[in-house]
Homo-oligomer: A and B are copies of this chain.
Amino acid sequence: MMPEGQGAPASPQAFRSSPDRGSSGPAACPPPQLPAPGSPESPAPRRGAIRASFPQKLAEALSSQYGLNVFVAGLLFLLAWAVHASGVGKSDLLCFLTALMLLQLLWMLWYVGRSSARRRLKDTHAGARWLRGSITLFAVITIILGCLKIGYFVGFSECLSATEGVFPVTHAVHTLLQVYFLWGHAKDIIQSFKTLERFGVIHSVFTNLLLWANSVLNESKHQLNEHKERLITLGFGNITIVLDDHTPPCNCTPPTLCSAISHGIYYLYPFNIEYQILASTMLYVLWKNIGRKVDSHQHQKMQFRSHGVTLGSVLGLAALAATIGVVVVYLIWIGRSKPRSESALLMFYLYAIILLILMGAAGLAGIRIHRLDEQSLDESKNPARKLDADLLVGTASGSWLISWGSILAILCAESRPPYTWYNLPYSILVVVEKYIQNLFIIESIHREPEKLSKDIRTLQVVTVCNGNATSLPSSCFESRPAAGDVAPQGSEMPHAANGNMCLGEVGSKEEQKSWEGALGPACHPRFLQGNAQRRVLRNIAAFLFLCNISLWIPPAFGCRPEYDNGLEEIVFGFEPWIIVVNLAMPFSIFYRMHAAASLFEVYCKI
């Protein structure tokens, strides 16, 4: 949980200079630049460079520290409630969360009202349309969850405190307004260093994180209770089992309805959890973007095309169907009797091993194809992408923690039931598959959009391969958008024109040779296979996307062999292992949804 609060948003200079570099080449000698008086950033940039009355670094540190303190205080409230601390009730916790949400509501209203007057710069990488779409979906389910909770409160209103009714109402309003806010403002690049904006955004980030932690805790308690009930049937009755039940001490008026609501709530929690974490990542990107200097147009629109991915989709959908089947059977069998439980575990391990092998192979193939393709990576600054990569590796660590725990337990256990031998390859494969998949995704999201670079390369190839080996001084090729640059959207043709203009210039013999060497592979027949490669990559992305959705389902809906196989609990002890799983599992679950989101982006980009 280390804060990335201080993540240096790089030197503004680096960004200010990039449009220059984009159009250098023969035109590399611009007249001494005077600040354009009309541009929005020009008023006093020189003055700002000399007198920074409230420097960005300080504003960042101020707000990130405030946010961390809110978060830490909230975590302790959650801990206090989780361990039944004396004097800290559920209503205190809900009061605290409600207050945070109300504060955020006020701030969002202020921001929306204030923004309607002025136009802001936009980060086209942030808040992609599909991201906003999926957050809306999750938000709708969250609001349904809120309604169920209100129903639950009405049913048990005799013995529940008012806060348990106020909280879901506030939460529903908060969800509605937040989704509206994210639709309108997730791409904003706030240019004023006004304290109130920074504090508001970071407050929103950590409020959502706390709501996430709250949901995770509720879900974990529920899962743990179910697990404890099941555990006895597997023959591990010697573990002290105390159910941590929060059923209110009074009767609900229509009992069947109440029990239906209780069940419904727990099936909707996983979506609420995804909603909260997704909202906080989008808000975090908004926070990181505050004060950034970027060109207003720097991004190619991504398109979703569905043709040519039959194989990947069919395989992926088959995996999805298999998963749903396995989960249903697992949930029916587990905890009925010892042999039934063992069969359920065996079935789950076999299914997961096959799926993980396929996914690993697909990921390896994807990496191999990327390695064959000569293309430099786009390493320009991009908070949304950096966060994606960080989250992939960070949240995978949660699942690695559980897997290494299983591996260690299997190696050290004194007696091993037969199904544990399937646990060993399963745990190893979980580690390996995430390792491979992260590599594939990280490389893919750092690729330049295919179309742009292909166009330019084609031009180069035509120029060089025609036998017309006019030397190409390197300064000409500066006109090609370099790896670190993001080319303005409509600038492909001017670049090409620049390239041609350079052909007359003089260069040394050596350079020419190195150029031909570098471009040589592009003349190779392999270059013609570009479309086939792209189709294979798109199939891989589609397959992995559906597989990640599949693997999100089992842990989110209570199919958790890490609990049920019982071996780790014997080796580590019940309490320590439960703490490890409860801390790591939320990250592991989030990993799958996040990887799926990233793979969707990869798919659209190819």
For residues 72 through 105 of chain A, which have their beta carbon under 8 Å from a beta carbon of chain B?
72-73, 75-77, 79-80, 83-88, 92
Q: B17 to A26, Cβ gap below 8 A?
A: no
Q: A83 to B576, Cβ gap below 8 A?
A: yes
Complex alpha-carbon distance, A579 and B61, angstroms: 28
Q: What is the CB-to-nearest-CB distance from A379 to chain B, in angstroms, rounded to a whole number?
A: 5
Q: What is the CB-to-nearest-CB distance from A477 to chain B, in angstroms, rounded to a whole number?
A: 6
Q: B11 to A484, Cβ gap below 8 A?
A: yes
**Which residues of B sit under 8 angstroms from A518, Cβ to Cβ?**
44, 46-47, 50-51
Whether A533 sits at the interface, judged by CB under 8 Å, is no
Q: What is the CB-to-nearest-CB distance from A474 to chain B, in angstroms, rounded to a whole number?
A: 5
Q: A408 to B88, Cβ gap below 8 A?
A: yes
Max chain B C-beta neighbours (<10 A), residue from A5, A11, A18, A385: A11
**Which residues of B sit under 8 angstroms from A414, Cβ to Cβ?**
86-87
**Which residues of B sit under 8 angstroms from A85, Cβ to Cβ?**
412, 571-573, 576
Q: What is the CB-to-nearest-CB distance from A252 to chain B, in angstroms, rounded to a whole number?
A: 30
Whether A493 sits at the interface, judged by CB under 8 Å, is no
Mask for A39-62, Cβ within 8 A of B = 1, else 0?
000001011111111011110011
Whether A337 sits at the interface, judged by CB under 8 Å, is no
Contact of A446 among B55, B407, B507, B510 (CB under 8 A): B55
Q: What is the CB-to-nearest-CB distance from A542 to chain B, in angstroms, rounded to a whole number?
A: 22
Q: A377 to B46, Cβ gap below 8 A?
A: no
Whether A225 sits at the interface, judged by CB under 8 Å, is no
**Which residues of B sit under 8 angstroms from A84, Cβ to Cβ?**
573
Q: Do A7 and B49 contact each other (CB < 8 Å), given the known contacts A12-B483, A85-B572, A474-B34?
A: no
Q: Do A443 and B58 contact each other (CB < 8 Å), given the known contacts A11-B484, A17-B21, A475-B33?
A: yes
**Which residues of B sit under 8 angstroms from A242, Cβ to Cβ?**
none
For residues 6 through 25 of chain A, which have their beta carbon under 8 Å from a beta carbon of chain B?
6-15, 17-18, 21, 25
Q: B2 to A390, Cβ gap below 8 A?
A: yes
Complex alpha-carbon distance, A152 and B32, angstroms: 73
Contact of A12 among B3, B379, B408, B443 (CB under 8 A): B379
Contact of A72 among B34, B47, B397, B412 (CB under 8 A): B397
Whether A570 sits at the interface, judged by CB under 8 Å, is yes
Whether A393 sits at the interface, judged by CB under 8 Å, is yes
Q: B413 to A87, Cβ gap below 8 A?
A: yes
Mask for A561-603, Cβ within 8 A of B = 1, else 0?
0000000001111001001100000000000000000000000
Q: B443 to A55, Cβ gap below 8 A?
A: yes
- Contact-residue size bin, chain A (C-beta under 8 Å from the other chain): 35 or more
**Which residues of B sit under 8 angstroms from A376, Cβ to Cβ?**
48-52, 55
Q: A6 to B68, Cβ gap below 8 A?
A: no
Mask for A173-196, Cβ within 8 A of B = 1, else 0?
000000000000000000000000
With both beta carbons as reference points, the residue of chain B lying nearest to A407 in the complex is identified as B73
Q: B379 to A10, Cβ gap below 8 A?
A: yes
For residues 458 through 488 of chain A, which have their beta carbon under 8 Å from a beta carbon of chain B?
473-475, 477-478, 482-485
With both beta carbons as reference points, the residue of chain B lying nearest to A431 in the complex is identified as B69
With both beta carbons as reference points, the residue of chain B lying nearest to A20 in the complex is identified as B17
Whether A216 sits at the interface, judged by CB under 8 Å, is no
**Which residues of B sit under 8 angstroms from A400, Cβ to Cβ?**
68-69, 72
**Which residues of B sit under 8 angstroms from A381, Cβ to Cβ?**
8, 10-11
**Which residues of B sit under 8 angstroms from A13, Cβ to Cβ?**
18, 21, 482-485
Q: What is the CB-to-nearest-CB distance from A527 to chain B, in angstroms, rounded to a whole number?
A: 12
Q: B12 to A484, Cβ gap below 8 A?
A: yes
**Which residues of B sit under 8 angstroms from A396, Cβ to Cβ?**
65, 68
Chain A interface (Cβ < 8 Å from any Cβ of B): 1-15, 17-18, 21, 25-26, 28-30, 32-35, 37, 44, 46-53, 55-58, 61-62, 64-65, 68-69, 72-73, 75-77, 79-80, 83-88, 92, 371, 374-377, 379-382, 385-386, 389-390, 392-394, 396-397, 400-401, 404-405, 407-408, 412-414, 431, 435, 438-439, 442-443, 446, 473-475, 477-478, 482-485, 505, 507-508, 510-511, 514-515, 517-519, 521, 570-573, 576, 579-580
